[in-house]
Each structure stands twice: as structure tokens, then as C-alpha cells.
Amino acid sequence: MHRIVATVIAGLLAAPVLAAEHETGDAAAGEKDFRKCKACHEIVADNGDVIVKGGKTGPNLYGVIGRPVAGTDFNYGDSIVAVGETGAVWDFDNFTAYVEDPSAWLEEQLDDSSARSKMAFKLRSGGDDIYAYLVSVSGE
């Protein structure tokens, strides 16, 4: 019995460390990589301060991390709205998988091979760095 309790406690103590290691990325590299994103996305703080001037084809990415999927005032596609209605939020796993292949992520989330994304760009690498960058500029 003591061994089981000790194993459970060790697992609980290790969980935050494992999660922190999983959610790594280089914010400085992400800032450079964000150049690929700013053609469609801007980062503008709630108070109007412009962090990155960019396009408006995609939603403003200020505060996106931790926000519900499709959770801002933007003309999202039907598939991503459907994912948002499930209660999904932009965490490390969702964000990095989405930017790697948006339509594939939506298909998986909805278990629907016809799900499509308005975001045609695929970020094959560096999603963890852009995630870290967006966390660093979130104002939190």
C-alpha cells in the first residue's frame, strides 16, 4: 500500500515538470519565425498597443494562448467554430498541431474528413517557438 501511495505522489510531483518540459520553445526564435505569420495576423494588445503590425486576413493573435478556439470576434470558418463549440482552448498541443497542418487538425478534432480550414499555410517546424513568443507577448 505504501508503495502505491509513494508512486502516486511521485507521479503528481513530476507532472508539472513533465508538462513544463513538453511546452518548450524559444520565444526569440518565435519572434523571428512570426514573420511568416504577419502577412495574415497582427498582434495588437487590448489597449490598442501594436506589438506586431500585420494583416487582418487572420485573427489578432494577442492573448490567443489559453483562449477558447475561435473565441474572438472574427469571421472564422465553420470547422474551427465547431471545434470551439466543444470547449477546446489554444494550449501548447492544440496550437502546435494546428499550425503544422490546420485542416488535418480540424479533421482529427471533429472526426470529419470534410473539415477544412481557411488557413492554408502550414508551419512544418517552429510552432513551439511561435507558441513561446505568443505567450511572451500576451501581457499575462
Mean pLDDT, residues 107-128 taken together: 96
**Predicted confidence band of residue 117 (pLDDT cuts 50, 70, 90):** very high
pLDDT at position 140 is 60
pLDDT at position 24 is 82
Domain count, the chain: 1
Mean pLDDT, residues 10-38 taken together: 69
Mean pLDDT, residues 38-53 taken together: 96
User: Is 35 part of a structural domain of the chain?
Assistant: yes
Residue 77: how many other CB atoms lie within 10 Å: 16
Residue 115: how many other CB atoms lie within 10 Å: 21
- Residue 73 backbone zone (phi > 0: left; psi -120 to 50: alpha; other: beta): beta
Mean pLDDT, residues 30-36 taken together: 96
Q: In CATH, what number is assigned to the domain containing residue 63? A: 1.10.760.10
User: Is 19 part of a structural domain of the chain?
Assistant: no
Q: Which residue has the higher pLDDT, 8 or 27?
A: 27
User: Is 3 part of a structural domain of the chain?
Assistant: no
User: Is 77 part of a structural domain of the chain?
Assistant: yes
Whether the per-residue pLDDT at 47 is higher than 50: the answer is yes
Alpha-carbon span 122 to 97, nearest angstrom: 10
Mean pLDDT, residues 59-74 taken together: 96
**Predicted confidence band of residue 9 (pLDDT cuts 50, 70, 90):** very low
The set of cell numbers assigned to 53 is 503590425
The set of cell numbers assigned to 95 is 496550437
User: Is 126 part of a structural domain of the chain?
Assistant: yes
User: Is 100 part of a structural domain of the chain?
Assistant: yes
What is the separation of C-alpha 62 from the centre of its chain, rounded to a whole number of angstroms?
11
Alpha-carbon span 24 to 19, nearest angstrom: 9
Name the H helices within the chain.
2-22, 27-33, 78-84, 92-100, 102-110, 127-136
User: Is 76 part of a structural domain of the chain?
Assistant: yes
Structural domain for 60, as ranges: 26-136
User: Is 38 part of a structural domain of the chain?
Assistant: yes
